[in-house]
Each structure stands twice: as C-alpha cells, then as structure tokens.
C-alpha cells in the first residue's frame, strides 16, 4: 500500500510517542525528531508505511540505546491476552461454527497495536464487538475453500498479545501451521520470545522472517522465510503492517485485520473498527 | 512560548489540512509537505509556534497561488457570528455585571480557530459553557483595575468571526479602543476587511500590525504598530497565537483565550476547554 500524505503526520506523532516510550529525554527526543523529518523528506516513491516504520523505529532504537523499547509492553500485552485464553477456547468450543468464531477472535486480537495508540479498548469488549459485527470485507468463504485444499498454512504474526488470539485460531484450524514472527524487535511486533510466551511453539512450527519491519517486506526477509512464503499454499497475514505490504501479493494471501487508521479507512472504503478478511489481489 | 516537540506533529497535520483547504491537488500537497518538513528540520531554537505557522502558511499561499485561502471561510465565520450579535448584546445588557459577561463572551468567541480544527462546537453552546465555567487562570480583577486607569486600550484581534465577540466587549468597555488586525492574510486570522465586516470600524480605531504571523511577533510588525504597542497603557491580546508570542511581554498585556491544544494545556497546567484571562509576565 502506498504512503499517503496523511501518513506524514501520523509518523511524526508516532515518533514522539515511541521516543518517550523508549525513555529518551527531551534533547534525545529532539535529535530523533530531526532525523525522522530528514527521513520523511527523502522517501522513495515506492515506499510503504512499514518501510518507513522500520526506519523510524531503527532510529529510535539507535538513539535510545535500547534494542527493544517495547519489551516490557509486549510481555504485558501477552500476559493480558493469556488471561483470556481459557474463555476464548470455551467460546470456540461452544460455537456452532468454531472456525468462523476463531477467525473473528483472531481479528479481535488485532486491536492490540501500540503503533496506533498506547491504549486499546478493553480486550473483552472488543471480542464482543467483533463477534457481533458484519465483515466490512468478507472473503471468508474463499479462505475456507483454500484452507481445505492446503497441506499446511503459513501464518504471519503481528503484535505481541495478538499472538494468543492467533494461537486459538491455529488450534481450531486442524492443519499444520508454520507461524512466522519478525526477525528482530520493531515496535510491539512479536518476535520469537513473544510467540513462545503465548505458547505458539506448542501448536505451530515457529520461524522468523529475518527482518525488522512491522510488516512483511519480502526483499528484506531472509531466504529461508522467502522460500517458506513461496511454497506455502495459503498464507494468513495478520494486521495492518502485513496488509500494507502484502495487499497485492497474490490470491493465496489472506489479510485479517481491523481498520484502525483513517488512511486504511479511505483506502478500503470501510469504516474505522471495520473487520476485514480480504484475499490479496494479483501481483 | 517555546515550540514543543508535540508541535511538530500538529504542524504536519495542519499543513495537509491547509493545503487541501487551499485547493491544492495531490502533487502540490506533496511539494508543500516536503518544504514544510525541511522547514521543521531547521528551526531556530528561539522560534515560537506562530513563527512556524507564519512560514508554513506562507509556503501554502505560494504553492497554491492563492493569496488568501481562508477568505471565504473567514467571511462565513463572520456571518455566523453576526447572527448572534443581537443576542450577545441582549445578554450583556441583562447582566448584573456587563463587563464580566462581555469578557467571557469574548473568550467564548475564541473557539473559532481553523488552525486547530475545521469544525468548532456550535457557537451558542460554547457561549453557554463559557458563561457557566470558572476561569482556569483568572486575572480579571487586575485587568479591571488597569482598564479603569487607562485612557485607551489596544486590543489585538485573532480570528475572523471572533471579531464579533470582540466588538461586543469593546462596546461594553466604555474606553477608546484601538483594534489591531494582522497586516496580511494568514490562516483564518482577521485582516482589515474581516474586522470591517464585523463592524469593528464603528466602535474602534482600526490598525493593522503589518505582519502575516498568526500571533504578534513585534520584531516583524511595522513601526506604527510597535509604537502603538509601546504607548498603550493596557493591551488585550486575544487567542492562542497572541498568547504564544506575548505570554511574557510584560504586565500591561492581558491574554484572553480558550485552551484548545494539549501543548497549551500542559504549558498552563489547565484543562482543554479551560478559559484563560492571564496577565503576561515580565519581559
């Protein structure tokens, strides 16, 4: 997805939030801001928001001397989501349509996104809302058909905490799953340790993509990941960053997310809070 | 007032809004954005938000080829405020404390601010709110005492439309008033034609300050204005831009405004929507 004009203001806002989150004092925050303004002035026309986020959060890690500023926040999000795990499982077990319910729960988990805001709605409230609302984009039928035929599924994770909701979906799918995390810390995106804290190692083969972008930029990923990507018959891509980088990665990719920013709202023609299960378009 | 870190994101947001308001197409909006990012990267450490706003809106006027992008919006705001004029006058006339009521009404009018948002609360709703709430900063007693001694008052205007509320206050003050507008168009700040449309020429001597900053930057104002400023025994400075440039311009300056941004909220230690009548501190 392209970098829209409105993304500039969002990244400047996100820079300050993230620099404060990383514990930088005012002079360091100022230095980071100047670096980010320079970066934003010189964007490649082909850039996507996750390309820019990768660079911005790289600057913040460098200037804060903090290799993983969101480490504690991620652990907190995972713990909060784990407290819901038994209830989520019971909800799926009691459902007439366990897979449909688990898909919606996985989308509900996408509300956890510290790039958009430090706060998220009460998770349980989000679960209730997402279970009750209609899909804004609904390719669920297509995904079910593709999943049935597939010998395994590649599942691209997004944020720490959201991982627990992914786990519930994976446990419902009854297919071998390869679960991919980011290769290195960026924002509150799940890396290997976050996936393990959510118990995903018990239900999927874990790999990392080798990159530190909050999305999936194939040209930056390691060869083993790209191979897994190319060979996978079906790919579930969670969250906004994966949508922004894989929205036209071909019809085997299905993006699951909530609409959490006005740019995606306009890009999709669907409202804020809308739930999306969208097959990607051809390359 | 200093340029805070949070001001960066606000100016980037304001740039897009203003460029769209000026009717620029996407490529021109993009050019404007790059220029503004360059500007923000190279700020003088002594700068104030109105210094930056002056430069930003100068870029927008230049690239849009539109010498007064807010001309129609200003006329619309003035007409909307003029529709309330008779009711505002009646409210003052019926009050036990006409001057106190007129001061509050003038502050209510400060809700009209297209730099903060294209929308403002229903004006009449704001009037009701401001009449009912306590001052967050209350130097009204000091202002009354200074006004009583003064042979005239210099009144620094702010936005078009707000001018009508200023007129009601001026008509209540029973002192000769010199009313100063901006020297050239910037944002929706009142210039001479806007003041005349609000009927201020009937109740005050109108002057312009010769500058195009949305505030009062004395070093950029014309000599006649600076002389009027220096000779005035009491100065009423309306709005956020005048506060940001005159908050420490000495005790004869009284700033009247509403708190409409989180930076001022923190700077003042008073809540959003708070009403302020504050004597400036010593130079």
DSSP H/E element including B277 = strand B275-279
Q: Enumerate the β-bridge partners of residue A178.
A: A154, A205
Tell me what pLDDT residue B224 has: 98
Structure tokens given for A88? 């989520």
Distances (CA, A) of A29 to A13, A18, A60, A63, B266: 12, 9, 9, 9, 18
pLDDT at B120 over 60: no
Average pLDDT of the segment spanning A28-42: 97
Give whole-number Cα distances, A216 to A47, A162, A180, A202, B70, in Å: 13, 17, 10, 24, 43
Q: Which residues of B touch A29 (CB under 8 A)?
A: 5
CB A140 within 8 A of CB A103: yes
Q: What is the dihedral of CA B244, B247, B253, B257, to 10 degrees?
A: 50
Taking CA atoms, what residue in B is nearest to A15? Answer: B9
pLDDT confidence of residue A120: 58
Return the beta strands (E) in A157-274 as ranges: 177-181, 205-208, 234-238, 253-258
End-to-end CA, chain A: 12
Distance of residue A113 Cα from the nearest chain B Cα, in angstroms: 20
Region B203-227: mean pLDDT is 98
Residue A112 confidence (pLDDT): 80
A269, pLDDT greater than 60? yes
Instruction: Provide CB contacts within 8 A for A228, sequence distance 6+.
Output: A154, A178, A180, A207
Question: A45-75: per-residue pLDDT in tens?
Answer: 889 999 999 999 999 999 999 999 999 999 9
Interface mutation vs chain B, best among A12, A44, A47, most B CBs within 10 Å: A12
**Mean confidence (pLDDT) of chain A:** 95
**Residue A147 contacts B, CB cutoff 8 Å:** no
A8 and B29 in contact by Cβ < 8 A?
A: no
Q: How many CA atoms lie within 13 A of B56 on its CB side?
A: 28
Quote the CA–CA distance of A12 and A30 in Å, as a whole number. 12
Residue B213's pLDDT is: 98
Confidence of residue A280 (pLDDT cuts 50, 70, 90): very high
In this predicted structure, the answer to whether residue A208 has a pLDDT above a threshold of 60 is: yes
**Tokens encoding A182:** 């980011």
Q: What are A155's two structure tokens?
A: 């599942």
| A9 contacts B16? CB cut-off 8 A | yes
CB contact under 8 A, A5 and B13: no
Banded model confidence at residue B79, pLDDT cuts 50, 70, 90: very high
CB contact under 8 A, B34 and A41: yes
Q: Which two tokens stand for residue A51?
A: 């390309």
Give the pLDDT band (50/70/90) at residue A93. Answer: very high
pLDDT tens-place string over residues B241-271: 999 999 999 999 999 999 999 999 998 889 9
Residues composing chain A:
283
Average pLDDT over residues A241-261: 96
Of B95, B225, B230, B88, the residue nearest B163 (C-alpha): B88
- Asked if B145 reaches chain A (Cβ–Cβ under 8 Å), the answer is no
- Contact in structure between B143 and B254 (CB atoms under 8 Å): yes
| Torsion-angle region of B206 (φ positive above 0: left; ψ -120 to 50: alpha; else: beta) | beta
In angstroms, what separates the C-alpha of B49 from chain A's closest C-alpha?
16
C-alpha count within 13 angstroms, C-beta hemisphere, residue B55? 18
**Does B25 contact A at CB distance below 8 Å?**
no
Note the pLDDT of residue A111. Answer: 87
Over residues A3-22, the pLDDT tens digits come to 999 999 999 999 999 999 99
What pLDDT sits at residue B152? Answer: 98
Average pLDDT over residues A243-266: 95
Whether B38 and A33 lie within 8 Å, measured CB to CB: no
List the alpha helices (DSSP H) in chain B. Answer: 5-21, 26-41, 49-64, 71-82, 85-93, 98-109, 123-132, 140-149, 162-173, 192-197, 223-231, 239-246, 262-268
- pLDDT of A118 reads 54
**Given this model, what pLDDT does residue A122 score?**
78
* Nearest C-alpha in A relative to B8: A12
Buried-state track B187-209, b at ≥16 Cβ within 10 A, e below 16 = bbbbbbbbbbbbbbeebbebbbb
3-state secondary structure A32-44: HHHHHHHHHHCCC
CA distance B30 to chain A (A): 7
- Are B234 and B154 within 8 A, CB to CB? yes
Band of pLDDT at residue B165, cut at 50, 70 and 90 = very high
Element (DSSP H or E) covering residue A224: helix A223-231
Cα separation, A246 vs B266, in Å, equals 41
Choice between B283 and A282, residue whose per-residue pLDDT is larger: A282
């Amino acid at each position: 997805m392209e970098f829209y004009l409105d993304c500039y203001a969002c990244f400047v806002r996100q820079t300050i939030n993230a620099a404060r989150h990383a514990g930088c004092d005012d002079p360091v925050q100022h230095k980071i801001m100047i670096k980010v303004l320079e970066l934003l002035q010189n964007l490649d026309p082909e850039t996507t928001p996750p390309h820019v986020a990768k660079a911005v959060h790289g600057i913040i890690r460098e200037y804060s001397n903090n290799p993983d500023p969101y480490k504690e926040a991620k652990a907190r999000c995972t713990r909060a989501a784990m407290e819901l795990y038994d209830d989520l499982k019971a909800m799926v077990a009691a459902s007439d349509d366990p897979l449909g319910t688990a898909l919606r729960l996985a989308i509900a988990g996408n509300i956890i996104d510290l790039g958009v805001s430090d706060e998220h709605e009460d998770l349980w409230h989000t679960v209730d809302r997402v279970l009750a609302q209609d899909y804004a984009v609904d390719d669920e039928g297509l995904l079910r058909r593709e999943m049935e035929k597939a010998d395994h599924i590649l599942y691209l994770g997004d944020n720490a905490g959201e991982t627990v909701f992914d786990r519930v979906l994976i446990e419902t799918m009854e297919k071998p799953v390869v679960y991919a995390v980011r290769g290195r810390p960026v924002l509150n995106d799940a890396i290997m340790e976050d996936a393990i804290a959510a118990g995903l190692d018990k239900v999927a083969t874990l790999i990392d993509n080798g990159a530190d972008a909050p999305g999936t930029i194939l040209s930056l990923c390691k060869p083993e990941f790209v191979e897994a990507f190319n060979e996978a018959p079906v790919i579930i891509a969670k969250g906004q960053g994966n949508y922004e980088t894989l929205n036209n990665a071909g019809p085997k990719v299905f993006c699951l997310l909530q609409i959490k920013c006005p740019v995606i709202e306009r890009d999709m023609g669907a409202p804020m809070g809308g739930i999306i299960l969208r097959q990607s378009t051809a390359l």
